[in-house]
Amino acid sequence: MKKTFKKGISPLIAAVLLMALVVSIGAVIMTWSKGFVNKQLNSADAKQSSQAVCGKDVSIQLEDVNNQKLICWKKLPNNNISIRYTLTNGPDKELIGLSGRVITTNKVYTDINKIDVAKGETIVANNTFAGLTSIDDLQKFELNAIIRYESGEGLKEITCQDHSIERSLIEECS
């Protein structure tokens, strides 16, 4: 009887090579997914902690002081619109600014007013919106507090959008 030898790899070596391939693919997938999951968790934690800070510390409201309107608009000499309001900050957190947004039927205008407002303080402030020349097509005016809070990465600024003041009707200032 004549013995014939076939060229090729033995089944044992093939099994070892397949196992090594599967382990290396698994390691690559685990490394990628670990970074992806950590990024998603950090993003969710940052959003949740900032919402928690805004939720428990921030309280702003419009006030009527000396019979002045709470909120009104005025056309400036450069034809831009300025919105004036009287605002009282709550007792728990100092504000470092106020973010105003005017939403019209065609565009959204934003203005950041970097103004410090102490705890419990009442102020009269303005937000001027460059390019906004008419209040006729106003859909909504939003006012949000900007605060500074301590995070694991140091001090951060955040706009507290969950506690915005919204108005859809604003009268002209007298």
Q: How far is CA 167 from the centre of its chain?
A: 20
pLDDT digits (tens, 9 = 90+) for 54-98: 777 788 888 776 665 578 899 999 989 999 888 889 888 899 999
More confident call, 19 vs 35: 19
pLDDT digits (tens, 9 = 90+) for 102-141: 999 889 999 888 889 999 998 888 889 888 888 888 889 9
Strands in the chain per DSSP E = 60-62, 71-75, 81-89, 97-104, 108-113, 122-129, 138-151, 154-167, 171-172
- Residue 95 gets which letter from DSSP? B
Question: Are residues 84 and 172 in contact, defined by beta-carbon separation less than 8 angstroms?
Answer: no
For the chain, domains (ranges, CATH) are: 58-172 (2.60.40)
Sign of the dihedral defined by the CA atoms of residues 66, 71, 75, 81, in that order = positive
Average pLDDT over residues 8-21: 85
* Full-model pTM: 0.64
Facing residues of 171 across strands? 72
pLDDT at 54: 79
The residue among 138, 145, 142, 139 whose CA lies nearest residue 160 is 145
Backbone angles phi, psi at 21, to 5 degrees: -65, -45
State which H helix or E strand residue 19 sits in: helix 11-57
Q: Which residue has the tokens 């391939």?
A: 21
Question: Are residues 122 and 91 in contact, defined by beta-carbon separation less than 8 angstroms?
Answer: no
Question: Are residues 130 and 109 in contact, defined by beta-carbon separation less than 8 angstroms?
Answer: yes
- Residue 173 gets which letter from DSSP? P
